Amino acid sequence: MRIVPSLSSAALSLFLLAGPAAAQLAPAPTATAIVCETYAAGAMIEAQLFFGRNIGNEIGVSERDWTDFLNGEVTPRFPNGLTVTDGSGHWRDIETGRLVREPSKILTLLADGDPATLVLIREIVDLYKGRFHQQSVALVVRPVCVSF
């Protein structure tokens, strides 16, 4: 019975002694930072936005509507470039239980990760949802290394 308290006391002592030393260690560089340095690439963010094109059960966002939105709202905010890919979204509607499929547009942006950039991305999401009566626009943001 005395072994458990002794081990606990020993473990606590070791933890307390190691604590100050561990706190002095420099933080490990992130994988992104290592890759960026290795390839002389700049650290940026990659944002992918997934835009559904259905309104209700029918395609409500035509190619013309999409192009107008892209040219009028997205490109002015990100004039240095972007990529658009056609996609096909699939998910189960939680209210009806049925499988829903709809065409989509996937927008990929490479940009600085500063707060102003994130505001511009949020504006695009909000504008699309409002204009085309969408419940959501999926957004994925991750750190990347970019070299042109």
Over residues 92-108, mean pLDDT: 92
pLDDT digits (tens, 9 = 90+) for 39-86: 767 889 999 999 999 998 889 999 999 999 999 999 999 999 999 999
* Helical ranges in the chain per DSSP H: 3-23, 31-38, 63-69, 75-77, 115-132
> DSSP class of residue 94?
T
Residues 17 and 71 in one domain: no
Confidence label for 28 from pLDDT (cuts 50, 70 and 90): low
Q: If DSSP codes are grouped into helix, strand and coil, which group holds residue 80?
A: coil
Q: Is 18 left (phi over 0), alpha (psi -120 to 50) or beta?
A: alpha
Q: Are 10 and 117 in contact (CB under 8 A)?
A: no
| 85 vs 36 pLDDT, higher one | 85
Residues 66 and 13 in one domain: no
> DSSP class of residue 128?
H
How confident is the model at residue 56, as a pLDDT?
82
Number of domains in the chain: 2
pTM: 0.74
Residues 110 and 137 in one domain: yes
How confident is the model at residue 73, as a pLDDT?
99
Query: Which structural domain, as residue segments, surrounds residue 60?
Result: 35-146
Tell me, what CATH number does 52's domain have? 3.30.70.120
CA–CA distance, 76 with 38 (Å, rounded to integer): 33
| 15 vs 58 pLDDT, higher one | 58
**Within 10 Å of residue 13's Cβ, how many Cβ atoms?**
10
